[in-house]
């Protein structure tokens, strides 16, 4: 038996709270913003099927592995990897896997907070009737006016970071747990309300057909599905690992991981079911790309009956999804400071939050005063802004490598006795997980990585 460890941060009250927290980490802007438009760009139903297969073969095995590492270490990702490497008699350099996750989460939150600020701004813009009768040019102009105003972006970024720091500073029980038990049911409720509204547009059937009818699929679309299946579950950035460290030993990691993956997928599908009927009802393009949320949908909200209320609900949903993800992104760094510097959580959350806020200034300026200051790396990318570079580095390099090394550590470095002890599931399920984690998931993540850095 492994040494019995106890997290100094406390633990989740029950499995349901952990599932809500992990789902909150996984459910973010990617589900509601990215999934609908990449489905629209890549053929609808067949893409969804491939995506679901990738969730099963890549996402769930790595999620099980990451939660398992967290629960076995019972510490921040950095200290967990140091402890587990020592316990397994392996190279202490594995601690850098923990560092990479913490740094990736920090960098992602620095720009994620700015984009969440857009959603917060749009709640008030929509509620104030700014989009009533708006044209496509008008919607584009409103968005451009927002992102080219650094002071306005700074205000929203600051508000969102303070919201995140307040939750994390209150601890696992009083902060994270209370937040997710309120925010996640409310988020699901808001999403259901928008789906119900979508049913009244007269184009709900067309939306379902677009989302679920089989269509042509390309090799590029398969790679996109693989990549999104990995990224959507919040893997490789330390968030799921640190949440796993607060999970009681009595709960099944396999069951919890499957439920979280299903909940995350349901949210993505519901978002598509909500968005596409509204898009079709207003004769807009479902494959509108990243501008679908902030430039295309506001046109629909501005022309449909009750659009102001629906728009406010939608952008509130987007804000809550971002908030639940943000608290998981900052938590690994906060946990590390508490463990290694002996400071309280309020102090740790404040300093990590301030550093993240400061790093976010680079993203803010990327859309205005720094927009002409670009970076190029031969054969990799050209004319990237500060924001583009951060996004590329985290999404295309750090997270895939983090997921790959998690799979390698859990599948090849840890002893079978150790992984069996944590997973305690049926032999057939354990063997399936071990096979997928050792062989299928690493190869798939390597392919995602090579595609992301334009090597295939």
Domain with 410, as residue range(s), is 15-452
Structural domain contains residue 26: yes
The Cα 185–Cα 226 span in angstroms is 28
How much is the pLDDT for 225? 87
What pairs with residue 334 in β-bridges?
A: none
Structural domain contains residue 6: no
Q: Which helix (H) or strand (E) holds 150?
A: helix 150-169
Structural domain contains residue 8: no
CATH label of the domain that carries residue 266: 1.10.4160
How much is the pLDDT for 283? 86
The Cα 374–Cα 185 span in angstroms is 42
Helix boundaries (H) for 43-147: 45-54, 60-73, 77-87, 95-127, 136-147
How much is the pLDDT for 43? 78
How much is the pLDDT for 401? 92
Structural domain contains residue 3: no
How much is the pLDDT for 412? 97
Structural domain contains residue 7: no
How much is the pLDDT for 185? 94
Helix (H, G, I), strand (E, B) or coil at 379: coil
How much is the pLDDT for 456? 60
By the 8 A CB rule, do 125 and 142 touch? yes
Domain count, the chain: 1
CA–CA–CA angle 62, 67, 72 (5° rounding) = 125
The Cα 45–Cα 177 span in angstroms is 36
- Mind listing the pLDDT tens digit of every residue in the chain (456 residues)? 456 778 999 999 999 999 999 999 999 877 887 887 788 778 788 898 999 999 999 999 999 999 999 999 999 999 999 999 999 999 999 999 999 999 999 999 999 999 999 999 999 999 999 999 999 899 999 999 999 999 999 999 999 999 999 999 999 999 999 999 999 999 999 999 999 999 999 999 998 888 888 778 888 888 888 888 888 899 999 999 999 999 999 999 999 999 999 999 999 999 989 988 988 888 887 766 667 788 888 998 998 889 999 999 999 999 999 999 999 999 999 999 999 998 999 999 999 999 999 999 999 999 999 999 988 877 667 889 999 999 888 988 899 999 999 999 999 999 999 999 999 889 999 999 999 999 999 999 998 888 877 666
Which of 269, 291, 96 is closest to 191 using CA atoms?
269
How much is the pLDDT for 213? 82
Sign of CA dihedral 416, 418, 424, 425: negative
How much is the pLDDT for 414? 97
Structural domain contains residue 434: yes
Structural domain contains residue 2: no
Structural domain contains residue 88: yes
Based on its alpha-carbon atoms, the radius of gyration of the chain, rounded to whole angstroms, reads 21
DSSP 31: I
């Amino acid at each position: 038996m492994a040494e019995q460890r106890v997290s100094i941060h406390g633990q989740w009250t029950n499995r349901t709270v952990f599932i809500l927290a992990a789902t909150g980490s996984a459910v973010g802007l990617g589900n509601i913003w990215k999934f609908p438009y990449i489905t629209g760009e890549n053929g609808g139903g067949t893409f969804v099927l491939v995506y679901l297969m990738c969730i099963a073969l890549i996402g769930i095995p790595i999620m099980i592995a990451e939660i398992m590492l967290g629960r076995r270490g019972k510490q921040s990702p950095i200290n967990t990897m140091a402890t587990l490497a020592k316990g397994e008699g392996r190279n202490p350099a594995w601690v850098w896997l923990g560092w990479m996750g913490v740094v990736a989460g920090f960098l992602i939150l620095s720009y994620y907070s700015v984009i969440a600020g857009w959603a917060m701004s749009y709640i008030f813009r929509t509620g104030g009737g700014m989009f009533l009768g708006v044209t496509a040019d008008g919607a584009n102009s409103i968005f451009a006016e927002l992102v080219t105003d650094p002071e306005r972006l700074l205000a929203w970024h600051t508000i969102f970071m303070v919201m995140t720091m307040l939750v994390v500073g209150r601890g696992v029980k009083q902060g994270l747990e209370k937040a997710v038990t309120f925010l996640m049911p409310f988020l699901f409720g808001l999403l259901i309300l928008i789906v119900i509204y979508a049913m009244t547009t007269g184009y709900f059937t067309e939306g379902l057909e677009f989302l679920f009818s089989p269509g042509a699929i390309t090799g590029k679309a398969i790679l996109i599905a693989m990549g999104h299946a990995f990224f959507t579950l919040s893997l490789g950035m330390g968030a799921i690992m640190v949440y796993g460290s607060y999970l009681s030993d009595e709960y099944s990691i396999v069951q919890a991981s499957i439920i979280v993956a299903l909940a995350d997928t349901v949210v993505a599908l519901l978002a598509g079911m909500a968005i596409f009927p509204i898009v079709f009802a207003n004769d807009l393009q479902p494959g509108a790309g990243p501008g679908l949320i902030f430039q295309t949908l506001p046109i629909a909200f501005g022309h449909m009956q009750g659009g102001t209320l629906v728009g406010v609900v939608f952008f509130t949903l987007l804000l809550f999804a971002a908030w639940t993800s943000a608290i998981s992104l900052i938590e690994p760094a906060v946990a590390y400071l508490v463990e290694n510097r002996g400071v309280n959580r309020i102090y740790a959350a404040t300093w990590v939050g301030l550093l993240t806020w400061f790093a976010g200034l680079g993203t803010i300026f990327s859309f205005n005063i720094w927009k002409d200051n670009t970076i190029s790396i031969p054969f990799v990318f050209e004319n990237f802004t500060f924001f583009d570079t951060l996004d590329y580095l985290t999404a295309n390099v750090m997270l895939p490598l983090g997921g790959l090394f998690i799979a390698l550590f859990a599948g090849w470095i840890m002893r079978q006795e150790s992984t069996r002890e944590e997973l305690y599931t049926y032999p057939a399920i354990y063997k399936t997980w071990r096979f997928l984690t050792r062989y299928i998931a690493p190869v798939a993540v390597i392919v995602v990585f090579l595609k992301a850095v334009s090597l295939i």
